[in-house]
Amino acid sequence: MTLAVRRIVAAILALLLALPLAQARAAYTQAELDQMLAPIALYPDPLLSQVLMAATYPLEVAEAARWSRRNPRLKGDDAVRAVQDRDWDPSVKSLVAFPNVLARMDENIEWTRKLGDAFLEQEPQVMDAVQELRHRARAAGNLAPDERYRVVEDGRAIVIEPAQPQIVYVPYYDPWVVYGPWWWPAYPPVVWAPWPGYARPYYPGVTVGFWWGAPVGLSVGFFFGNVDWYYRHVRVVYTNVHYYRHHYDARGFAPRAPGRWEHDPSHRRGVAYRDPAVQQRFTAAPQAPSQPREIRTETRRETVRQTERRATERQRRTEERRREVVRPESRPQMQLQETRPQAQPRVQAPEAQPRPQPRAPEAQPRPQPRAPEAQPRPQPQPRAPEVRAQPRPQPRAPEVRGQPQPRAPEVRAQPQPRTPEARPPQRQENAGNRSPQRAERRERPSDSRAERGRPPRGNDRS
């Protein structure tokens, strides 16, 4: 009995030890990789890299999708800025700018988990499967550059990039059409329903498998990740993105330097890894408990505060030195100001001397404006030629002037005989009343007028 029990126990232990090894060797086949990568293989490389990163955190993807449904008006870079304070991985935060992609990942959360596990376990094989799908779409004539994105062949690899970095079009396509006849009957491709707001261009006689929607506006350098097709892995290429930098600043860590992307198990949120080897790789790493981790963050924050204080002290010292450099000219002035009551010659007549100086220029300019006022007066003389230049109406003037000339003598000749008849009696009465001396004075000018040939007055005629 003892030997039999020992044999049974040994067999059980052998099975238990062999089971993890068998599970560790069970990798995804090429058919399974093609099946799960079919709906995203033709995405632009930056977006594809961050979709693969976010797939390793399925619970955070579900939370981000729910947030996106509650905030449908926020899209693009505005939506990412609204969630940068959330405790999500930067790759998950970036997908908030693409609500359709995030919604599809949340609808089929099992597919998202498998995609993340395949990316963690078989990253080079995943990159090769993407390239194989792109070559098949290119051979079928459904992958060509246009105004939305560029398609470049870099050796064996096909690179897809947005035509404009700040405007990204996310395509929706039918894997049954884009890749041609499907080559894995037992593993059909994952197909999503058409997205709302997307439309397919129509060409007569041509079957198009792509649907296009409105572009997504992003900031400069929005994507921090990309794909290195030569080494067949995903890299962090740009660390100055606002949501990527803010994620590490809020936690008290410095942003990771550009290089190969590394999975952060703290955002896994308790989801088990499929491969025990991967589970051991991320759990075997020394993970500090919650309390020491808080202590680390506090110490790092304290170091940041100390560096900031040192920087402020340096700025203050430099400002004081600059002031000292500028002060040599002002210091003697301060000393002189303090000794002003002793230095009496400073309060002298130079202050009273400039007072009579402005009086002379005030009297001088007064006659100056009068001369130009008299000079421009003869300037209106050129108006005379305007009057002289009226010879044109002269022929009409003699016709008008010739008619009133004969009428003037007729009117003037009539009052002459009337005046001598009325005036003589008045003058005779006045003559009778006047003295003889005045009469003689009046008679003398009449004689002189008679001598000149002028007609005598009424008194002389009598």
Indicate whether 163 and 309 sit together in one domain.
no
Indicate whether 38 and 122 sit together in one domain.
yes
Distance in angstroms (rounded) separating the CA atoms of residues 94 and 81:
9
Region label for 191, one of left (φ > 0), alpha (ψ between -120 and 50) or beta (otherwise): beta
Residue with token string 């049954």? 176
Contact predicate 158/59, CB 8 Å: no
Indicate whether 97 and 52 sit together in one domain.
yes
pLDDT band at 300 (very low <50, low <70, confident <90, very high): low
Identity of the residue numbered 128: D
User: Would you say residue 389 lies in a domain?
Assistant: no
Indicate whether 241 and 294 sit together in one domain.
no
User: Would you say residue 327 lies in a domain?
Assistant: no
Distance in angstroms (rounded) separating the CA atoms of residues 43 and 178:
13
Averaged pLDDT for residues 99-128: 95
> What sign results for the dihedral spanned by CA atoms 176, 182, 188, 190?
negative
**Looking at 216-225, 234-243, 379-388, which range is the least confident one?**
379-388
Average pLDDT, the chain: 74
Distance in angstroms (rounded) separating the CA atoms of residues 395 and 378:
32
**Which residues, listed in sequence order, are joined to residue 292 by a DSSP beta bridge?**
none
Distance in angstroms (rounded) separating the CA atoms of residues 55 and 108:
11
What SS3 string covers the chain? CHHHHHHHHHHHHHHHHHHHHHHHHCCCCHHHHHHHHCCCCCCCHHHHHHHHHHHCCHHHHHHHHHHHHHCCCCCHHHHHHHCCCCCCCHHHHHHHHCHHHHHHHHHCHHHHHHHHHHHHHCHHHHHHHHHHHHHHHHHCCCCCCCCCEEEEEECCEEEEEECECCEECCCEECHHHHCCCCCCCCCCCCCCCCCCCCECCCECCECCCEEECCCEECCCCCCCEEEECCCCEEEECCCCCHHHHHHHHHHCCCCCCCEECCCCHHHCCCCCCCCHHHHHHHHCCCCCCHHHHHHHHHHHHHHHHHHHHHHHHHHHHHHHHHHHHHHHHCHHHHHHHHCCCCCHHHCCHHHCCCCCCCHHHHHCCCCCCHHHHHCCCCCCHHHHHHHHCCCCCCCHHHHHHHCHHHHHHHHHHCHHHHHHHHHHHHHHHHHHHCCHHHHHHHHHHHHHHHHHCCCCCHHHHC
What tens digit of pLDDT does each residue of 356-399 get?
Answer: 554 544 545 555 545 444 454 555 555 544 545 455 555 554 45
Indicate whether 299 and 248 sit together in one domain.
no
Distance in angstroms (rounded) separating the CA atoms of residues 237 and 229:
14
Contact predicate 137/129, CB 8 Å: no
Indicate whether 107 and 150 sit together in one domain.
yes
Q: Which residues constitute the domain of residue 307?
A: 288-322
pLDDT band at 94 (very low <50, low <70, confident <90, very high): very high
What tens digit of pLDDT does each residue of 97-109 get?
Answer: 999 999 999 999 9
Indicate whether 229 and 296 sit together in one domain.
no
Averaged pLDDT for residues 43-71: 95
Nearest to 139 by CA among 121, 153, 125: 153
Q: What per-residue confidence (pLDDT) applies to 100?
A: 93
User: Would you say residue 333 lies in a domain?
Assistant: no
Q: What per-residue confidence (pLDDT) applies to 244?
A: 77
The more confident residue out of 229 and 380 is 229
What tens digit of pLDDT does each residue of 6-55 get?
Answer: 666 566 655 555 454 444 557 899 999 999 999 999 999 999 999 999 99
**Looking at 8-17, 73-82, 240-249, which range is the least confident one?**
8-17
Indicate whether 38 and 109 sit together in one domain.
yes
User: Would you say residue 314 lies in a domain?
Assistant: yes
Distance in angstroms (rounded) separating the CA atoms of residues 173 and 189:
12
Averaged pLDDT for residues 59-78: 93
Averaged pLDDT for residues 248-265: 74
Residues in Cβ contact with 27 at an 8 Å cutoff, skipping those fewer than 6 apart? 121, 122, 125, 275
User: Would you say residue 178 lies in a domain?
Assistant: yes
Structure tokens, 166: 């700040």
Q: In the predicted model, is pLDDT for residue 127 greater than 80?
A: yes
pLDDT band at 349 (very low <50, low <70, confident <90, very high): very low
Indicate whether 76 and 139 sit together in one domain.
yes
Say if residue 458 is exposed, middle or buried (CB neighbours under 10 Å; 0-12, 13-18, 19+): middle
The more confident residue out of 196 and 404 is 196
Give the other-Cβ count within 10 Å of 262's Cβ. Answer: 9
**Looking at 201-205, 269-273, 354-358, which range is the least confident one?**
354-358
Q: What per-residue confidence (pLDDT) applies to 33?
A: 97
Q: What per-residue confidence (pLDDT) applies to 336?
A: 41
Domain count, the chain: 2
What tens digit of pLDDT does each residue of 139-197 get?
Answer: 999 998 989 999 999 888 999 999 998 999 999 999 999 999 999 999 999 999 888 88
Residue with token string 């449908």? 72
User: Would you say residue 130 lies in a domain?
Assistant: yes
Distance in angstroms (rounded) separating the CA atoms of residues 212 and 195:
9
Indicate whether 301 and 278 sit together in one domain.
no
Q: What per-residue confidence (pLDDT) applies to 98?
A: 95
User: Would you say residue 313 lies in a domain?
Assistant: yes
In b/e form, how buried is each residue of 28-43, taking b as 16+ CB within 10 angstroms? beeeebbbbbbbbbbb
pLDDT band at 311 (very low <50, low <70, confident <90, very high): confident
pLDDT band at 457 (very low <50, low <70, confident <90, very high): low
Contact predicate 260/234, CB 8 Å: yes
Nearest to 151 by CA among 207, 98, 101, 210: 210
Q: In the predicted model, is pLDDT for residue 63 greater than 90?
A: yes
Query: Which of these three, 307, 322, 337, is where a domain ends?
Result: 322
Contact predicate 49/234, CB 8 Å: yes
Indicate whether 213 and 269 sit together in one domain.
yes
Indicate whether 213 and 315 sit together in one domain.
no
Most confident listed range (43-57, 242-256, 308-322, 440-454): 43-57
In b/e form, how buried is each residue of 69-102, taking b as 16+ CB within 10 angstroms? eeeeebbbbebbbebbebebbbbbbbbbbbbbbb
User: Would you say residue 173 lies in a domain?
Assistant: yes
Distance in angstroms (rounded) separating the CA atoms of residues 140 and 388:
97
**Looking at 79-93, 255-269, 277-291, 431-445, which range is the least confident one?**
431-445
Q: In the predicted model, is pLDDT for residue 114 greater than 70?
A: yes
